[in-house]
Amino acid sequence: MKRLALAVLGAISLSACAQAPGGNTDPVPSATTATTAKPAAAPKPAAGTPEARAIEAVRALNPQVEVERVAPAAMPGFREAIVAGQVVYVSDDGRYLFLPGSGGALFDVAAKKNLSEDAMAGLRKQLIATIPASERIVFSPAKPKYTVTVFTDVECGYCRKLHSQIAEYNREGIAIEYLAFPRMGLGSDDYRKMVAVWCAPDRRKALTAAKSDHGPTKADCKTSVNQQYDVGQRVGLTGTPMIVTAEGVQVGGYVPPAALRETLDKLAAEHARTASTAPAKPGT
């Protein structure tokens, strides 16, 4: 699936509570300091050089960022660029850009396509399908246009914000299927609260109450919370909430209702265009 690299190079932060057992993982609002450092002059290499192609590749994915430095990389055939405080690697022909670090991604610059995400999408879809429908906590309109899976945590601030708008998501035609991901880890108080939710006779009511500190805190029953947590780790979750489309595409942490509907509409349109231009299979 063709996807623009809108979140590349720090242009957009992922609104999610980090998965970091034992630490302070609540979202911290950014602050603007009184004094900001003057940005370094952008490099201006000669046209047609690998350095120039590296800069062009970065700007093709996100024209709003500035390349602070570009130089030969330790890997043959690549340039190393510093962009918004991050290191990225661009092939000398300018075709591929690699963003390292946690959840690193490889982009096809010409196609504006996240090759890593495409590979992960299929795996996510397969893994999420292993969770029985009966083990998901579903909030859905009568006739949903889209259904997304949301890995959630009862204590994460962004998870609570998303859930407080659940009616708005439903009005946008979006069904939310929750899976459990206690970000503080198995055996934690957070985990026990989520097990209690999944043990409750009315899970929807229990989850809503838990997200406002009024839900059950103890329970002793057999649940799939451990399985859901394992799936969350295997699909590349780095923070909660994590929103995944029916096709396995991750579309963010917290995304407001209208923005999520807009994103899902765009992805559906891209999928339709891709399907209409795909070569016909033999015999069809």
Catalytic-role residue among 79, 159, 203, 261: 159
Residue 239: half-sphere exposure toward Cβ, Cα within 13 Å: 20
Contacts of 168 (CB under 8 A, 6+ apart): 257, 258
Catalytic-role residue among 3, 17, 156, 203: 156
Catalytic residue flag (residue 273):
no
Nearest residue to 1 via CA among 89, 88, 118, 169 = 118
Catalytic residue flag (residue 183):
yes
Catalytic-role residue among 79, 183, 203, 261: 183
Helix (H) or strand (E) holding 48, with range, is: none
- Judged on CB neighbours under 10 Å (0-12, 13-18, 19+), 80 is middle
Sign of CA dihedral 118, 124, 129, 133: negative
Contact between residue 155 and residue 196 where contact means Cβ atoms under 8 Å apart: no
Catalytic-role residue among 3, 17, 124, 153: 153
From CA 259, how far away is CA 122, in angstroms rounded? 24
Q: Which residues are catalytic?
A: 153, 156, 159, 183
